[in-house]
Structure 1
Amino acid sequence: MLDIKWIRENPQALDEALNKRGADPESAKLLALDEARRQHLTKLQEAQERRNAASKEIGKAMASGDKELAEKLKAEVSELKSFVQDGEAEERRHDAALNDALARIPNVPLDDVPVGADESGNVEVRKHGEPKRANWAKEHFEIGEALGQMDFERAAKLSGSRFTVLSGQLARLERALGQFMLDLHTLEHGYTEVQPPLLVRDDAMFGTGQLPKFTEDLFRAGDDHWLIPTAEVSLTNLVREEILDGEKLPLRFTALTPCFRSEAGSAGRDTRGMLRQHQFYKVELVSITDAESAIDEHERMTACAETVLKKLDLPFRTMVLCTGDMGFGARKTYDLEVWLPGQNAYREISSCSVCGDFQGRRMNARYRVAGEKQTRFVHTLNGSGTAVGRALIAVLENYQNEDGSVTIPSALKPYMGGLEKIEAVED
């Protein structure tokens, strides 16, 4: 959520930022709501001050024997009391209207983010590894089905479309990928492993920006909870409504969890295979920082995610997203796109974003700086370190052999009991 004071002082800057994102200007609407609220608060304050003054005047009138004036003042105090009580309810309505409007405004991009309308405006910043493609290369679902360990038909019987049943060594390979990533981030990159709840309340979803704007992309679980679309929600909200010691920042959390998404906006896209699933595993990275460290932390987090792909020896490229392709809460985002020989294309496998104090305001999460009376809102970052299902896809396609088997990457062999390759299940 953006600071209304900043908007009040920089309305043109807000509208220019929204224009870069391809959104309509909003400053006039927000300032009108803010002005109505401030005018109402002024009236309330004046009424309360007059009520206090009149109450004192009643005592003076009684002391001087002027009962008529005293009664008149009592009537005025009673009227002012009713006005203040009704006005407090009106104040809550003004607050709700302004906060609801602010909650739907996306974050302001950093100045160095390229301006563009969609993914065609994204810019490559570096590339690792050499993409290769044999003329016999197959897509991951062809490989998995031929191995007899990836079943979409049975998954559809259980749950419908966009679900997968993995079995045997493919199930173990997915588990190995998740464990490998967790070990890397905790042992080498300094993240603290967390096992967070998969069900969260409305205020947690609001805190990271999923609500109210993206309700249709979520799965509701009963009246009071939602299934997390990413562990970013649980991990970032660990600090909600807290005041942290600035000297102990940054805090770095990681988690391997199932994630649940309706994929409401992707009808007709990637309908075959595991690329877009309603349920998938992901290793999430979250950092809570002060204002001064956030940009450097963004580069560090992205490097941590890149290390996963480097150790798996998977070709990839790092893209900076343009303004029209960035997420709602991000100020700047790097996407890692892994090479998939079966598709003969790069596809996203990780997205790392710096959010400024956008989520900190929504969560009311602050930190205290030594020597300062005022607290500041924390700055937050999140990234995939990486999407486990998509990493499985990348391994299958990059390590496939012409005979249909799949070689195990060296980094994963300790997690696979020393297994060298996955071969078809015999009937």
Structure 2
Amino acid sequence: MLDIRWIRDNPEAFDKAMVQRSNETRSDALIALDEERRSHVQRMQEMQARRNSASKEIGAAMGRKETDLAEKLKAEVAKLKGDLQQAEDEVRELDARMEESLLSVPNIPLEGVPVGADESANIEARTVGRKPGWNHPAKEHFEIGEALGQMDFETAARIAGSRFTIVSSQLARLERALGQFMLDLHTGEHGYTEVHAPLLVRSAALVGTGQLPKFAEDLFRTTDDRWMIPTAEVSLTNLVREQILEHEQLPLRYTALTPCFRSEAGSAGRDTRGMLRQHQFYKVELVSVTDEDNSVDELERMTSCAEEVLKRLDLHYKVMVLSTGDMGFGARKTYDLEVWLPGQDTYREISSCSVCGDFQARRMHARYRKSGEKGASFVHTLNGSGVAVGRALIAVMENYLNEDGSITVPSALLPYTGGMTRVERN
């Protein structure tokens, strides 16, 4: 959430950023609402001051035995009491309107982020590795998995409907190995703390990270007013909600391997075959909580941690800087890692790393205090995929496919597969 004081002081910069993010300009409306609220607050404060002074005047009048004046003042105080209650209700209503309006405003892009309406304006930062050099025909992951007898979409559809997959046997072992490998890498070498956090959260947690109220249709909701997490970013980032941290505690770095649940609203007809776009999938999440001076550097660090997963798996990928129109709602700058999939003959996103500044912290009321200072500042938060496990499985299947239809296990995963070096038909 943005600070209304910043919007008041920088209306032109705010509106420019909204245009860059393909949003309507709204500084005039927000400032007008803020002016209305300020006017009501001032009126309420004036009434409070008059009530207090009138109450003192009652005592003085009684002391002078000016009964008529005392009764007149008592009537005034009684009326002020009712007027104040109405004024307080009006201020609360205006506060709620302001909060609702600000919660729908996207974050301000950092300087240097490419400006554009969509992914066509994204910029390639670098390309890493090489495409596989084998000569046999490439295949898509669902062709490979079904030929191995270890990927079943029909049974999954009978159980749960479309956009679910059953992975079994050696392929399931390979997927589990990928998740364990990523967690060990991030905790053992990159300094992240592993966390097992709730998969069901309250609305306030999703408001804190920016999924609510704007993106409710993308989520699954339970009958007791909880929500299934679309990403562990929600649980991990909210670990610091409503807290004041000491500066010496920062940065905090968390990681988790969890299932994620998304309704995929608006994706009808996209990636309907296979397991690229699922209602349920596994992902290793990275979250950092830091101060304002180090958050941009932390984005570079986090992105390099996600890249290291792909490097260890010897997968070819490229790093893209997302444009203002393609970034997520809460991001100020985002790097996407796009892995090469031979079966599709294209690159597909496998990780997205973003710095959010204090955008989420304001929504969560998460702050930090520097030693010796009385005031507290909002923390800066970052999140990234380190990486999507299901998409990593797809990438390994398509890039390590052998001519006979088997899959060679990447050397980085061998400590996790119990001696299995190839995935072969049952």
TM range (shorter): over 0.9
Quote how far apart the aligned CAs of 1:370 are: 1.4
The one-letter amino acid paired with 2:63 is A
Whole-angstrom distance in 2 between the partners of 1:267 and 1:296: 38
The one-letter amino acid paired with 1:319 is M
* 2:100 match: 100
SS in 2 for 1:327: coil
* 1:69 match: 69
Paired residue total? 425
5+ unaligned residues in a row in structure 1: which ranges?
A: none
Whole-angstrom distance in 2 between the partners of 1:8 and 1:309: 44
* Per-residue Cα deviation, 1:300-327 (whole angstroms, up to 9, x for no partner): 0000000000000000000000000000
Whole-angstrom distance in 2 between the partners of 1:105 and 1:288: 22
Could you state the TM-score of these two structures normalised by the residue count of structure 1? 0.99
* 2:139 match: 138
Question: Matches of residues 408-423 of structure 1 in structure 2 within 5 Å?
Answer: 408-423=409-424
SS in 1 for 2:159: helix
SS in 2 for 1:307: helix
Question: Matches of residues 163-312 of structure 1 in structure 2 within 5 Å?
Answer: 163-312=164-313
Whole-angstrom distance in 2 between the partners of 1:358 and 1:105: 10
* 2:113 match: 113
* Per-residue Cα deviation, 1:234-254 (whole angstroms, up to 9, x for no partner): 000000000001111000000
* Per-residue Cα deviation, 1:323-356 (whole angstroms, up to 9, x for no partner): 0000000000000000000000000000000000
* Per-residue Cα deviation, 1:114-147 (whole angstroms, up to 9, x for no partner): 0011111100001101124746100000000000
The one-letter amino acid paired with 1:399 is Y
Whole-angstrom distance in 1 between the partners of 2:180 and 2:188: 12
Whole-angstrom distance in 2 between the partners of 1:335 and 1:171: 26
* 2:339 match: 338
Whole-angstrom distance in 2 between the partners of 1:269 and 1:10: 40
* 1:322 match: 323
SS in 1 for 2:214: coil
5+ unaligned residues in a row in structure 2: which ranges?
A: none
The one-letter amino acid paired with 1:351 is S
Whole-angstrom distance in 1 between the partners of 2:132 and 2:389: 22
SS in 2 for 1:265: coil
Task: Say whether the 8 Å CA contact 2:61–2:70 is kept in structure 1.
Answer: yes
The one-letter amino acid paired with 2:163 is R
Quote how far apart the aligned CAs of 1:199 are: 0.3
Quote how far apart the aligned CAs of 1:224 are: 2.3
Quote how far apart the aligned CAs of 1:72 are: 0.7
Whole-angstrom distance in 1 between the partners of 2:403 and 2:67: 104
The one-letter amino acid paired with 2:382 is L
* Per-residue Cα deviation, 1:134-163 (whole angstroms, up to 9, x for no partner): 461000000000000000000000000000
* 2:30 match: 30
SS in 1 for 2:78: helix
Whole-angstrom distance in 1 between the partners of 2:282 and 2:389: 5
SS in 1 for 2:387: strand
Quote how far apart the aligned CAs of 1:267 are: 1.1
Matching of residue 5 in structure 1 with residue 12 in structure 2 = no
Whole-angstrom distance in 1 between the partners of 2:54 and 2:149: 85
SS in 1 for 2:117: coil
The one-letter amino acid paired with 1:89 is D
* 1:147 match: 148
Whole-angstrom distance in 2 between the partners of 1:152 and 1:402: 24
Whole-angstrom distance in 1 between the partners of 2:131 and 2:76: 81
Whole-angstrom distance in 2 between the partners of 1:61 and 1:41: 30
* Per-residue Cα deviation, 1:367-401 (whole angstroms, up to 9, x for no partner): 00112211000000000000000000000000001
Could you state the TM-score of these two structures normalised by the residue count of structure 2? 0.99
Question: Matches of residues 398-409 of structure 1 in structure 2 within 5 Å?
Answer: 398-409=399-410
SS in 2 for 1:256: strand
Quote how far apart the aligned CAs of 1:90 are: 1.3
Whole-angstrom distance in 2 between the partners of 1:78 and 1:262: 55
The one-letter amino acid paired with 2:368 is Y
Structure 1 ranges of 4+ moved more than 4 A: none
Whole-angstrom distance in 1 between the partners of 2:206 and 2:294: 25
* 2:355 match: 354
Deviation larger for 133-142 or 365-374 = 133-142
Whole-angstrom distance in 2 between the partners of 1:26 and 1:273: 42
Deviation larger for 78-87 or 138-147 = 78-87
The one-letter amino acid paired with 2:120 is S
Whole-angstrom distance in 2 between the partners of 1:150 and 1:109: 41
Whole-angstrom distance in 1 between the partners of 2:224 and 2:25: 35
Task: Say whether the 8 Å CA contact 2:19–2:25 is kept in structure 1.
Answer: yes
Quote how far apart the aligned CAs of 1:417 are: 1.1
SS in 1 for 2:71: helix
Whole-angstrom distance in 2 between the partners of 1:401 and 1:118: 37
Overall identity of the aligned pairs, in %:
70
SS in 2 for 1:266: coil
The one-letter amino acid paired with 2:53 is A
Matching of residue 380 in structure 1 with residue 381 in structure 2 = yes
Task: Say whether the 8 Å CA contact 2:321–2:334 is kept in structure 1.
Answer: yes
* Per-residue Cα deviation, 1:267-290 (whole angstroms, up to 9, x for no partner): 111000010000000000000000
SS in 1 for 2:266: helix
Whole-angstrom distance in 1 between the partners of 2:268 and 2:13: 35
